[in-house]
Chains A and B, each alone.
Chain A
């Protein structure tokens, strides 16, 4: 299946990772975080990366985002500058909601009127109309994470104004939220993703979340991080969805249990 997918996306690719290695430290203290990752994401595709702690999920996102440099291998981006959403909302506490969402547009030198229009549009997209003048500390955790989503979208969509595809990198963005809020935000994210058509690389340690959100789930092993397997989970519902969760969960446990012996 993986091979068939590779062929299908040969023509159009948003992100391509080829034999990506990342080693931290040198000599005897060197730790291999990523060991030969090959991955391609199509424009508009929603890919979930799943793995236990230490599988280099965050490192992988940082590499794609350009926050770190790979030790070897190649990253090809045909998209605009990727937008990143973190586990913490990472909103600027001194800026209002409006100014926070506007920040990537200001940094990109977008004019005032265009910025205001864009922010209004994004606020209504994440259903936060009327909160533009509030500060992050006046919002609930779920609202803050939606503001962060709107800010990432501003950043992603801004870059794609010149016809390039948009790409969002999400690093466990809902894991710090309570279960009720997380459930609703997952639905929100899917709605927003469909509305904007941006490609998403979503990192999580929650298999259920990965299956629910992603079109494709990629399982990474830990220390060193390698692609173990991947599943097409697009459009699964009901018992198919539960079966996929069980299959991937079983494989994940199998990968984790190899570490117990070592």
Chain B
């Protein structure tokens, strides 16, 4: 027969605080061991990398195989659907002449500079929107609305204001990226459990210390998601701007390359351009944002690794 309450009562200390110290000591340790969440079985590093890398490679191979088969069937004229090999040759030509680096540099450095300016504008804007009620009431809907306005729509206005210059291009990039980043930060701050700033206040944090130690780190996942989307918007706005506002003074970026391909009716060039744009977008996402996001979410236990 297990012990009943009457029996254990004898173990109580003079203060009537239930089980004795030694009992609690053992029991606490046991509970901790039983209750602590299990990290789960860890797969080896090699297998994890294989599991991440092999499926996309398989998908790419399958895609190229289908493409090759469709091309070989000759359903579509060659000038509309070139073979994968032709694209490979055009690409290799770009690499051999070094033109590919010029194209990438022109576009990527524009996108990065545009993104950094966007970040510098969007961060204070997002903080204001999230924390100052009147600002939010006044321009909150506008900023959300701007996010759904395709930034290509700004290209004509930008060209009329600034002509075919870098300024036009940056304006289009900023109008694409700033609303996304600001909205991401606002969402991140809105999702902070209200108990956390209260805890800060109870511990004697002023509003600055609260922002620095609690609000900003707590909003980081949402902010990062906004940055990621902001980068995607920068990149696609830039391509739209380069494609439409193409002129010799602006130098040769990927958008101009694509535009030239269209003018020359050169399908291999057009497809190569599209692939390069895709590669840069995916590459930045994988090399910059994915690791940042992984670290942030893992630290908060928001993600099963």
A interface residue numbers (CB < 8 A to B): 65, 67, 81-84, 86, 88, 90, 92-95, 103-104, 106-108, 127, 135-143, 155, 180-181, 183-184, 186-188, 190-191, 212-213, 234-238, 241
Contact = CB atoms under 8 A, between A and B. Distances in A.
Given A90-B196, A104-B203, A107-B213, A186 B18 contact: yes
Given A86-B195, A155-B203, A187-B24, A94 B35 contact: no
Contact of B202 (A67, A143, A188, A237): A67
Contacts, number: 121
B202 A94 contact: no
Contacts of A238: 9, 12, 16
B266 to A, nearest CB: 51
23 contacts: A65-B202, A67-B198, A86-B199, A90-B199, A94-B299, A104-B203, A104-B204, A107-B200, A107-B204, A107-B213, A135-B300, A135-B301, A137-B37, A138-B36, A140-B37, A187-B19, A188-B24, A190-B15, A191-B24, A212-B17, A235-B15, A236-B16, A238-B12
Given A92-B217, A142-B35, 12 more contacts: A82-B202, A84-B202, A127-B25, A138-B39, A155-B202, A155-B204, A184-B24, A191-B21, A234-B15, A237-B15, A237-B16, A241-B16
B287 interface: no
Contacts of A83: 202-203
B16 A235 contact: yes
Contacts of B16: 212, 235-238, 241
Nearest to A194: B15
Given A106-B213, A141-B35, A92 B29 contact: no
B209 A107 contact: yes
A142 B301 contact: no
The 8 closest A-B pairs by CB, nearest first: A137-B301, A140-B35, A237-B16, A190-B17, A104-B203, A93-B300, A84-B202, A90-B195
Contacts of B19: 183-184, 187
B35 A107 contact: no
B121 interface: no
A137 B213 CA distance: 19
DSSP class of B's interface residues: helix, strand, loop or mixed?
helix
Given A103-B213, A186-B18, A92 B36 contact: no
Contacts of A241: 16
B201 to A, nearest CB: 7
Interface in B83-123: none
B14 interface: yes
B111 to A, nearest CB: 29
Contact of B32 (A143, A155, A237): A143
B37 A138 contact: yes
B134 interface: no
A81 B203 CA distance: 8
B14 A237 contact: yes
A213 B16 CA distance: 9
A107 B200 CA distance: 9
Nearest to B217: A94
